[in-house]
Structure 1
Amino acid sequence: MSNVETKPLELRCGAAVDGERPAGAARVDVLTARDVPLGGPRAMTVRRTLPQRARTLIGAWCFADHYGPDDVSVTGGMDVAPHPHTGLQTVSWLFSGEIEHRDSLGSHAFVRPGELNLMTGGYGICHTEVSTPRTTVLHGVQLWVALPEEHRDAERDFQHYAPETVRIDGAVIRVFLGSLAGHVSPVRTFTPLLGAEIVLQPRAALTLTVDPGFEHGLLVDQGQVRLADTLLGPAELGYAHPGIDALTLTNESDDTARTVLLGGTPFEEDIVMWWNFIGRSHEDIAKARDDWQNSSDRFGAVEGYPGDRLPAPALPNAVITPRRNPPRH
């Protein structure tokens, strides 16, 4: 998915300074979303929880949009024209609906509920995302992962994976990246990551063993879910600091709750994010923008989309300033 804000923020993101915490203590910070329209007279609105002032990364997860349930007969659904990416991987995960994906690698695939589409932008790629005519309600998440310095110019790649369903303690879990509850995803990432959909039955409680070197974020799609001692509502993301070896999720409602659990080792590099690009300096971003505007071979071309490319917004007339995660206590 493209970041289609007309004036996207230019961010320099960096690792926080870690501090000592009591062993096993699970402190949870609550991150709220802001609404971002995807554009057009019947804009589909997404709820963005990353990046924000309170937190820019969770592991290498650097961007999280949560959308729907969206009645496409009212909004027109999703129609994102060819647009570029650098220095990142895109992760598409749906709860309902269907999205057609095309990219300059030549991939033509569909995003369906319970199936992962992961695209590696690396040095440069472009793609389109369009909800299909079969879609009546569109609902899901779109996530980005920052690539580390040694791999930020990686070759274009596309992976599709349908994880098996794991049932445990009143929960249904689908692990699409990393490992959890005894299941390991084979999908390649460039830093240690976790990504899983967790559906909790009414009043169910689930304790999961996790990597204490990871930080975690639990995004609630529906229901009221308690993460450790903190209650989270729909569209809220609970951030759990590193240093814990178990997470307890409790559905506090009489209805089914659905969440997405993200995790990873703290990302220790400074990165600059602007529009659909991730680099290490303002010059990196300006060069990527120029290459896209000038239709260079860097990004290739998408075949089969009946429309024009998205033009890049104008660069801000400002010096990039550091914008970091808050210190961990």
Structure 2
Amino acid sequence: MDSLEVIAAREVPLGGPRAMTVYRTLPSRERTTIGAWCFIDHYGPSRVTETGGMVVPPHPHTGLQTVSWLFAGEIEHRDSVGSHAFVRPGTLNLMTAGHGISHSEVSTAATTTLHGVQLWVALPDASRDVAPFFESIDAATTTIGDSTVSVFVGSLGDASVAATTFSPLVAAEILLPAGGRTELPLDAAFEHGVLVDAGPVEVDGESFDRTELVYLGEGRASVSLEAGEHPVRLVLIGGTPFGERLLMWWNFVGRTHEEVVGFRDEWQRESGFEGTSDAAARRFGATDHHYTGKPLPAPVLPGVRLQPRR
């Protein structure tokens, strides 16, 4: 059984002048993926009156699934396959980008506090060119020991959800009251990580604090969790180890430098920033999304060749 490994978060500003700070733990120098999970942004609780909330103009994705999970607040989602949905606590919003999609995310006027996680799943090579689609699914809730568990991807204990995945995965929110304990059953074929939203918490007897991601390794049949004098909220993720090399740049998950450069060029043409695009061959679809304002331009590529990571 592998020992516990902690991944500290990097603070990243998201948005305009009153940027909302997000805490990013994947990808990191220590680890690119946990299963097929390849990206974690953790944010809040933040007051919308102070940060301006979430205002993310239309932007592209390829080769991945976005998993939106809120603890508090409400976000309006629109995308280029015609989906219009609201991300709310207790409901998974799962967008499969596949071949290519664009979407926008804006916190609603009813939101006073925004708090949640945004995760990405890398699609395996055999599935990464699927046609894009969107799902909204209520989580399945169960009790394990003293914990309340809301499963929003895969299965844990006696709870499961039918979200579409392209490799074996699990994701769940775990709530422990002050002084609470639980022994969570795990799939030993998976590797797992635990993101601490509210803590501190003891994981297998070691103490971890807010924003830290605890890598549990492979081969574990269970993990013990114990709260101290404060309630605990965690997000558990896991999946079979992802053996493919990935090239992640901006909002694209690809495999080669040339491929990612091509994605960027297509987005720049389709969104009107550079040249013109054939309307019949648009990878990312319509980019207006009923959004007042312009789409996001892609960043300038670095002056070196992009390299994939395992």
Matched, 1:29 2:5: yes
Match of 1:216 among 186, 192, 198: 192
Partner of 2:255: 280
Partner of 1:21: none
Q: CA deviation at 1:194?
A: 0.5
Q: CA deviation at 1:204?
A: 1.1
Taking a change above 3 Å as real, the CA distance of residues 213 and 164 of structure 1, as seen in their structure-2 partners, is: closer
Q: Which deviates the most, 75-84 or 200-209? A: 200-209
Partner of 2:297: 311
Give distance in 2, aligned partners of 1:241 and 1:221: 20
Q: Which deviates the most, 259-268 or 302-311? A: 302-311
Conserved? CA contact 2:148–2:176, under 8 Å? yes
Q: Which runs of 5+ in 2 are unaligned?
A: 271-276
Identity %: 56
SS at match of 2:53: coil
Conserved? CA contact 2:245–2:309, under 8 Å? no
Count of residue correspondences: 299
Matched, 1:298 2:283: yes
- What does 1:90-239 correspond to in 2, within 5 Å? 90-239=66-215
Q: CA deviation at 1:227?
A: 1.4
Give distance in 2, aligned partners of 1:87 and 1:234: 30
Conserved? CA contact 1:212–1:242, under 8 Å? yes
Conserved? CA contact 2:140–2:161, under 8 Å? no
Give distance in 1, aligned partners of 2:217 and 2:300: 36
Q: CA deviation at 1:229?
A: 2.9
Partner of 2:240: 265
TM normalised by structure 1 equals 0.89
SS at match of 1:143: strand
- What does 1:31-70 correspond to in 2, within 5 Å? 31-70=7-46
Conserved? CA contact 1:163–1:185, under 8 Å? yes
Aligned AA (1:310): L
Give distance in 2, aligned partners of 1:248 and 1:203: 13
The CA RMSD over aligned residues, in Å, is 1.0
Q: Which runs of 5+ in 1 are unaligned?
A: 1-24, 325-329
Taking a change above 3 Å as real, the CA distance of residues 288 and 221 of structure 1, as seen in their structure-2 partners, is: same
Q: CA deviation at 1:26?
A: 5.0
Partner of 1:14: none
Conserved? CA contact 2:68–2:119, under 8 Å? yes
Aligned AA (1:149): D
Q: Which deviates the most, 302-311 or 174-183? A: 302-311
Give distance in 1, aligned partners of 2:186 and 2:143: 17
Conserved? CA contact 2:103–2:289, under 8 Å? no
TM normalised by structure 2 equals 0.94
Partner of 1:289: 264
Higher relative contact order (CA 8 A, sep 6+): 1
